[in-house]
Amino acid sequence: MEFRTKVNIDKPSWSISPTDRFLFVGSCFASSMAQILADNQFRTMANPFGVMYNPVSVLHTIEKLHTQGDSIIPDVAILTFGTNRVYILKETGEIVDNCQKRPQSLFMEKSLTVEECAESVSRSVELLRQMNPNIKIVLTVSPIRYSKYGYHGSRISKATLLLAVDKVLDTVCCDYFPSYEILDDELRDYRFYAEDMIHPSNQSVNYIFERFSETYFSEESKRFVAEYRPIRQALNHRFFNPESEESRQFYRQTQERLAAFKEKYHLL
């Protein structure tokens, strides 16, 4: 007997290798996912210009990276959208990424339409493809709820993003990963949320990452993670007396194992 509805995820036509370079742009959920990859020695960049919650702000980050030319060329990009709400500076009419603690009276709040969201997402995909024609792009909607808008408003915002992403997927070749659906439909219980009842718990984030790795990791990437696991455990080990000869020898041996691991996978 099944006591939950597991979200089915289609197997993509490509897979992640240990040497791929990752770019995560979007909400704080994107940063959480990126951190897990970084903790496992994958080369990862997350939100280089700060956390971005809406599709226009995500586009602003991609535009800045695009102007930097060859300095940053990811193999895999994961774009995570949190809300369709934006703040517009009244003086200029521009959408800002961060109000920088300026008075609220200087800004006007607006909800982007499905078409406006889709246009920003499509432009982000286009610029990423200009940076790397072979880039693999994954679109996802953050599972974080927004109590600020009221829970009905939060649902409307997520629905707008889901419709926009679906519209983009009809016209460009990208993948969709159901982060939102996994927490909302598969886990769907407050015990999978953090204490604020808004953000997913660490357990939820780890489970969503597990589903992500099952979907996208190549067999080589799975071996890569398994091989690094005992090294990571050794690096995190804390001795009662860190100045003892035993702990110094353990540290040297661990660093040697880490260097050999990086050399094997060309990560140096």
What pLDDT, on a 0 to 100 scale, did the predictor assign at position 71? 66
Tokens in use for 77? 């990009």
More confident residue, 120 or 69: 120
Provide mean pLDDT across the span 131-158.
92
Contact (Cβ atoms closer than 8 angstroms) between residue 138 and residue 76? yes
Is the model's pLDDT at 90 over the cut of 90? yes
pTM of the model: 0.92
Is the model's pLDDT at 242 over the cut of 80? no
Provide mean pLDDT across the span 26-35.
94
Is the model's pLDDT at 149 over the cut of 90? no
Residues 268 and 264: their CA atoms lie apart, in Å, by 9
> Which of 139, 124, 138, 141 lies closest to 29 in space, CA to CA?
141
Provide mean pLDDT across the span 134-157.
92
Residues 76 and 59: their CA atoms lie apart, in Å, by 16
Contact (Cβ atoms closer than 8 angstroms) between residue 79 and residue 25? yes
Strands 136-141 and 107-111: unpaired
Confidence of residue 267 (pLDDT cuts 50, 70, 90): confident
Strands 95-96 and 76-81: unpaired
Helical (H) or strand (E) element with 147: none
> What are the φ and ψ backbone dihedral angles of 257, each rounded to 5 degrees?
-65, -40
Q: Give Rg (Cα) of the chain.
A: 20
Residues 268 and 261: their CA atoms lie apart, in Å, by 9
Residue 103: which residues within 8 A CB-CB, separation 6 or more?
none
Confidence of residue 106 (pLDDT cuts 50, 70, 90): very high
Provide mean pLDDT across the span 94-121.
94
